[in-house]
Amino acid sequence: MEFATPFEITKEFVLKLEKAAQSHEDRFIIESLRGVEPADISVVLEELDGEDSKYILMLLDHDVAGEILAQLDEDVMLPFVAEFSPKELAPIVQDMQSDDAVDLLLEISNHMRDEVIAHINDKEAQMNILDLLRYDEDTAGGLMAKELIKANYKWDIVRTIEEIRRQAEDVEKIYSVYVVDDFDRLLGRVSLKEMILAKDHTKVGDIFEQEVNTISTDSSQEEVAEIMQRYDLEALPVVNARGRLVGRITIDDVVDVITEAAEDERNLMAGISEDVEEDDTIWKLSRSRLPWLIIGMGGGMLAAKFIASFEDDLAIIPVLAAFIPLITATGGNVGLQSSSLVVQSLANPLAIRESLAVRLLKVFGVALLNGLVLNLIVFGINMAMGQSMALSLVVAIALYTVVMLSSILGTMTPWVLDKMGVNPAMASGPFITIANDLLGLTVYFTVAHLLLL
């Protein structure tokens, strides 16, 4: 059995393609890109300037060109599309899946959008796009595509298969056939396997499955992702308020939603306030990081001021300063671990939520065990290094207390933020690190003051 090798994008290949575009070597371009996946071609075009990319794209079939445009990053796609006139862009948009076409059109100016739609010759494609433009981007209506396979419950298998052949020309992937009544109201679905096994004159209404998951057009994209994850769906039919089948959402669109949400939370947890990528401008990258860096710096200065207030204690026992990093780092790590677990739980709508009391009890038990292990380790190391019994006890007791309190703080903070309607991922960023630093210093110097001074 032979397997296709992945297409390798090299600098030499990009340079050859660029030279071919500039010298209008159409045959070389077409032969070089024959059989190459649109996703790979989009990566190549991102390395070229707009004029060369446009020339190459215009040599390709419209459906392939549409898939390439759908794969381009937004920052690349916008200046690229600006190279096209509405008349040039219209036939490409016409052959795109309706949801991808709308995503593209929403990124360009209203005037150009209207011009592109006006130049679309396929009236069905034009109406599909106009229909989808009515929905908000972050709803099921904004995610869905109009292309799908449907059959009337009165049809027999022969007619249904004929309709599938006709309708499938516009459908990229067929997962199942949706069964509707005379008013296009969704009744259920029938699998391709059931139709293949059924006799020719069997009615679709006799073999279709009535239990089918649906979503309404105004449902949020988070609800869509939840249902498709819960029931492991590859496609989800979308119905309007009257129960009419108006579109479907496929798994690739939901993966994009889940990925985007995960990236947003990861950035927020890392203290990055905007959606940025490595190849963005220096100013954009700096702007996305500065707010939390300034907050972190402010927290550090507050901690420094706090330590300075114990200057007299440090003057008496200078060795106390050596253990400050140990206390703050451990408290910060414990808090981040606790908050991250809670954030994951809150971000997963499928999780069965424990009550706050049960969660705190579990956190208390984990902290009790972890604190005890760390307490014994740090006490043993300090004694082995020749530190006094009193100082070893101070560090061990302070560390144990910090582990307990940081665990509770790390659990409570995201929960409180979630109840307040604030993204709980903020609790796993610099915010909780600063809070734990101050908490750890307070505990440490309080224990030291009580036991040593």
Does 201 lie in the same domain as 54? Answer: no
d(CA 124, CA 180): 20
234 to 12, 109, 139, 251, 348: CA distances (angstroms): 39, 33, 18, 5, 19
Regarding predicted confidence, which is higher, 273 or 64? 64
Q: pLDDT tens across 228-266, in order?
A: 988 889 899 999 999 999 999 998 888 878 777 767 666
What is the phi/psi pair of residue 229, to 5°?
-70, -45
Q: Which residues are 348's β-sheet partners? A: none
**178 shares a domain with 76:** no
User: Distance (Å, rounded) from C-alpha 325 to C-alpha 92?
Assistant: 60
Handedness of CA 432, 330, 440, 419 (dihedral sign): positive
Task: Kindly state whether residues 435 and 343 are assigned to the same domain.
Answer: yes
pLDDT at 424 over 80: no
CATH number at residue 385: 1.10.357.20
Domain span at residue 425? 282-452
Q: How far apart are CA 150 and CA 183, in angstroms?
A: 12
Whether 275 is covered by a domain: the verdict is no
Amino acid code (one letter) for 348: N
User: Considering its fold, how many domains does the chain have in total?
Assistant: 3
pLDDT of residue 331: 85
Sequence-separated (6 or more) residues with CB below 8 Å from residue 165: none
Residue 150 pLDDT > 80: yes
pLDDT of residue 268: 63
Give the whole-number percent of the chain exceeding pLDDT 90.
39
CA distance 237 to 413: 38
Specify if 313 maps to a domain: yes
Question: 436 and 367: one domain?
Answer: yes
Q: Which residue has the tokens 């101070």?
A: 394
Average pLDDT over residues 374-390: 90
Task: Mark 93-114 as b/e (b = at least 16 C-beta within 10 Å).
Answer: bbbbbbbbbbbbbeebeeebbe
Crossing angle between the packed helical segments 26-33 and 50-59, to the nearest 10 degrees: 80
Q: Are 202 and 157 in contact (CB under 8 A)?
A: yes
Alpha-carbon distance 207 to 199, whole Å?
A: 11
Residue 2 has pLDDT above 60, yes or no: no
pLDDT (0 to 100) of residue 3:
43
Instruction: Determine whether 405 is exposed, middle or buried from the number of CB atoms within 10 Å of its CB (0-12, 13-18, 19+).
Output: buried
Domain identity same for 139 and 203: no
Q: Is residue 140 over pLDDT 90?
A: yes
Whole-number pLDDT of residue 226 = 87
Q: How confident is the model at residue 11 (pLDDT cuts 50, 70, 90)?
A: confident
Residue 352 has pLDDT above 70, yes or no: no
**Same domain? 118 vs 175:** no
End-to-end CA distance of the chain: 79
How does DSSP classify residue 389?
H
Q: CB–CB of 316/390 below 8 Å?
A: no
pLDDT digits (tens, 9 = 90+) for 300-311: 888 888 888 888
Q: Is 350 a residue whose pLDDT tops 60?
A: no
In a domain, 154, yes or no: yes
Q: Are 74 and 212 in the same domain?
A: no
What angle, rounded to 10 degrees, do the helices at 50-59 and 38-46 form?
150
Tell me what pLDDT residue 264 has.
Answer: 66
| Higher pLDDT pick, 217 / 438 | 217
Q: Does residue 18 register a pLDDT over 70? A: yes
Instruction: Name the residue type at position 174.
Output: I
User: What CATH number does the domain containing 99 carry?
Assistant: 1.25.60.10
**For residues 102 and 113, what is the distance between their CA atoms, to the nearest angstrom?**
10
Lookup: tokens for 42: 């989009």
Of the pLDDT bands very low, low, confident and very high (cuts 50, 70, 90), residue 1 is very low
pLDDT of residue 280: 63
* Mean pLDDT for the stretch of residues 71-88: 85
**Most confident region among 117-126, 221-230, 297-306, 400-409 by mean pLDDT:** 117-126
CATH code for the domain in which residue 242 is found? 3.10.580.10
Mean pLDDT value of segment 93-113: 92
Residues 386 and 421 in one domain: yes
| Helix ranges restricted to H, 277-419 | 282-308, 311-316, 324-347, 356-384, 389-419
Amino acid, single-letter form, for residue 37? E
Q: What is the pLDDT of residues 167-204, one digit of tens each?
A: 877 787 888 899 999 999 999 999 888 898 999 899 99
Helices (H) and strands (E) in the chain, counts: 21, 6
Q: Using CA atoms, how far apart are residues 326 and 408, in angstroms rounded to an integer?
A: 19
The residue among 143, 177, 205 that closes a domain is: 143
Q: Which residue has the higher pLDDT, 74 or 204?
A: 204
Q: What is the pLDDT of residue 379?
A: 92
In terms of domains, do 119 and 207 share one?
Answer: no
Q: What is the pLDDT of residues 21-54, one digit of tens each?
A: 999 999 999 999 988 899 899 888 888 888 898 9
Same domain, yes or no, for 198 and 162? yes
Q: Output the six-digit token pair for 394.
A: 């101070």
Antiparallel, parallel or unpaired: β 177-180 and 186-190:
antiparallel
In a domain, 419, yes or no: yes
Residue 161 included in any domain: yes
Q: Which alpha helices (DSSP H) does 153-220 contain, by range?
A: 157-167, 192-197
Q: Which of 159-173, 203-217, 283-297 has the lowest mean pLDDT?
A: 283-297
Mean pLDDT of the chain: 85
- Measured CA to CA, the distance from residue 370 to residue 268 in angstroms comes to 28
31 located within any domain? yes
pLDDT exceeds cutoff 70 at 17: yes
pLDDT band at 55 (very low <50, low <70, confident <90, very high): very high
Backbone angles phi, psi at 8, to 5 degrees: -100, 120
CA distances from 246 to 1, 128, 143, 173, 183 (A): 42, 10, 12, 17, 12
Instruction: For residue 263, tell me if it sits in a domain.
Output: no
Q: Is residue 1 part of a domain?
A: no
CA pseudo-torsion sign 101, 103, 104, 106: positive
Q: What is the mean pLDDT of residues 354-373?
A: 81
Mean pLDDT of 130-152: 93
116-125, 315-324, 342-351: least confident range: 342-351
421 and 350 in a single domain? The answer is: yes
Please answer whether residues 104 and 93 qualify as being in contact, where contact means their C-beta atoms are separated by less than 8 angstroms: yes
The Cα–Cα gap between 239 and 275 comes to 32
Q: Are residues 114 and 196 in the same domain?
A: no
pLDDT of 133 > 60? The answer is yes
